[in-house]
Chain A
């Protein structure tokens, strides 16, 4: 897994989150998923399924409790991708 994969993860997350967000917010790595995007929990869980499929990994949703920002989510996905390949 390389830097470019990290960028790929970040891009996918930003693209999908801007579709899902209720508000017209510019999404940056520091954007808070819950407070700033008001993404409800079901939408977030469904996004996780999409990310699992995009990178062919398993992302247990219980580990999301530590995730608040887009960057933290990208870090988590990246870490799982590295350890699974």
Chain B
């Protein structure tokens, strides 16, 4: 088989799995009306599949900041910070992230994906070890591959399993990076951070926590899982993204280890890519300010999360273990998942469809993400529609 034939074979396998599901991925969105509504085809739909957790995509403060930055600094930086220099906004945003996490060092990356790629491949290399959760996001996995380090996985959130693997590392623990996530994006469950920290303190190693989905969502000031657990000072490196609660694109790493600065000189995903555009940086800075004082947004978000989680659970859907902004119904077969997804769209509700192998353990997921801009009535409508479809699709089997 030549290269193109291999792609044809993969495409054929995908179509064979779900002949009617071809349109379910990368669906065309014709118009965006607000943080919660858009037009798909000729339907006005409720957006229940975004990562817009605080509902800030249309926040006037962010839009104004982006406009002003474009007017003042143009549309793009046209190059890497290493070569083309660091704009005021890049440096300011780094200071603001360092201040937010009470850390001495902070680096901004062009995407959240690159924040993980750049941080991990900057911290570890061939001969070192990364100990990662089995359900790690692709950006973590790819960062590990890029680094050339030895990759060991432990069972998702299973501390006995993690300990076994830590113990087997022996002296290699000296050069081991442990990686977990604040909230896991598939089932919305949280890492048992206190236990992870305890094991790290017992065996050694350096700990990196990706707060991509928990930034702005967990903690009084929105720092993430480090805040709800009070373990900020026990985590060595925190990465995260601007693309979810901060409603732009980009990523960051913060740390109290001054060595973080060295990554600017060794990390290819930082060096060999253009820096974030002025508008992106400006809207992110405005959003970070709103996030920090957004405890009312978090209150509303959590009230929405609990409402939908409780309703879906009561109906009988199998959900992740914790209520949170990511609420995923675990469905037995890809066909049932597609049917549920299609029926929800028929009812003007857009959610995410996740099929194997993207979902953990060969499961299929119909995943909602809740945000602070959803009204109580909208959440109820979503819950009622899921309830109606439960019987119709015969979810029990």
Interface of A toward B, CB cutoff 8 Å: 40-43, 45-46, 48-49, 52-53, 56-63
Instruction: With A40-B357, A41-B357, A45-B134 as known contacts, state yes or no: A58 contacts B362, CB within 8 Å.
Output: no
Let me know if A40 and B356 touch, CB within 8 A. Answer: yes
Picked from A40, A43, A45, A63, the residue with its CB within 8 Å of the CB of B153 is: A45
Let me know if B152 and A58 touch, CB within 8 A. Answer: yes
Let me know if A60 and B168 touch, CB within 8 A. Answer: no
Let me know if B168 and A62 touch, CB within 8 A. Answer: no
Does B48 count as interface, using CB distance less than 8 angstroms? no
- Which B244-259 residues sit within 8 Å CB-CB of chain A? none
| A63–B149 alpha-carbon span in the complex (Å) | 10
Residue numbers in A under 8 Å from B361 (CB-CB): 42
Report the number of A-B residue pairs with Cβ-Cβ less than 8 Å.
46
Interface of B toward A, CB cutoff 8 Å: 129, 134, 144-145, 148-155, 161, 164-165, 168-169, 172, 356-357, 360-362
Instruction: With A41-B357, A45-B134, A49-B134 as known contacts, state yes or no: A62 contacts B151, CB within 8 Å.
Output: yes
Residue numbers in A under 8 Å from B155 (CB-CB): 49
Let me know if A62 and B150 touch, CB within 8 A. Answer: yes
25 A-B pairs (CB sep. < 8 Å): A40-B356, A42-B356, A42-B357, A42-B361, A42-B362, A43-B362, A45-B134, A45-B153, A46-B134, A48-B153, A49-B154, A49-B155, A52-B152, A52-B168, A53-B164, A56-B168, A58-B168, A60-B129, A60-B150, A60-B151, A61-B153, A62-B144, A62-B145, A62-B149, A63-B150
Q: How far is the CB of B137 from chain A (nearest CB, A)?
A: 14
What residue of chain B has the Cβ atom nearest to residue A84's Cβ? B168
Q: How far is the CB of A51 from chain B (nearest CB, A)?
A: 12
Residue numbers in B under 8 Å from A53 (CB-CB): 164
Residue numbers in A under 8 Å from B154 (CB-CB): 49
Q: How far is the CB of A25 from chain B (nearest CB, A)?
A: 17
Residue numbers in B under 8 Å from A60 (CB-CB): 129, 150-152
Let me know if B357 and A58 touch, CB within 8 A. Answer: no
Residue numbers in A under 8 Å from B129 (CB-CB): 58, 60
What residue of chain A has the Cβ atom nearest to residue B135's Cβ? A42
Residue numbers in B under 8 Å from A40 (CB-CB): 356-357
| A57–B165 alpha-carbon span in the complex (Å) | 8
Q: How far is the CB of A39 from chain B (nearest CB, A)?
A: 11
What residue of chain B has the Cβ atom nearest to residue A41's Cβ? B357
Residue numbers in A under 8 Å from B152 (CB-CB): 52, 58-61
| A6–B37 alpha-carbon span in the complex (Å) | 60
Picked from B144, B153, B172, the residue with its CB within 8 Å of the CB of A49 is: B153
What residue of chain A has the Cβ atom nearest to residue B359's Cβ? A42
| A38–B131 alpha-carbon span in the complex (Å) | 27
Q: How far is the CB of B120 from chain A (nearest CB, A)?
A: 13
Residue numbers in B under 8 Å from A57 (CB-CB): 168
Residue numbers in A under 8 Å from B165 (CB-CB): 52, 58
| A5–B149 alpha-carbon span in the complex (Å) | 28
What residue of chain B has the Cβ atom nearest to residue A60's Cβ? B150
| A58–B148 alpha-carbon span in the complex (Å) | 16
What residue of chain A has the Cβ atom nearest to residue B13's Cβ? A38
What residue of chain A has the Cβ atom nearest to residue B167's Cβ? A56
Residue numbers in A under 8 Å from B161 (CB-CB): 49
| A7–B386 alpha-carbon span in the complex (Å) | 52
What residue of chain A has the Cβ atom nearest to residue B152's Cβ? A58
Let me know if A62 and B148 touch, CB within 8 A. Answer: yes
Residue numbers in B under 8 Å from A45 (CB-CB): 134, 153
Residue numbers in B under 8 Å from A61 (CB-CB): 151-153
Q: How far is the CB of A10 from chain B (nearest CB, A)?
A: 22
| A45–B153 alpha-carbon span in the complex (Å) | 8
| A78–B258 alpha-carbon span in the complex (Å) | 41
Q: How far is the CB of A12 from chain B (nearest CB, A)?
A: 18
| A17–B379 alpha-carbon span in the complex (Å) | 45
| A49–B144 alpha-carbon span in the complex (Å) | 17
| A42–B135 alpha-carbon span in the complex (Å) | 10
Q: How far is the CB of B177 from chain A (nearest CB, A)?
A: 13
| A41–B154 alpha-carbon span in the complex (Å) | 16
Residue numbers in A under 8 Å from B362 (CB-CB): 42-43
Residue numbers in A under 8 Å from B360 (CB-CB): 42
In the A-B complex, list the 7 residue pairs whose CB atoms are closest, starting with the nearest.
A60-B150, A61-B151, A58-B168, A40-B357, A42-B357, A62-B151, A60-B151
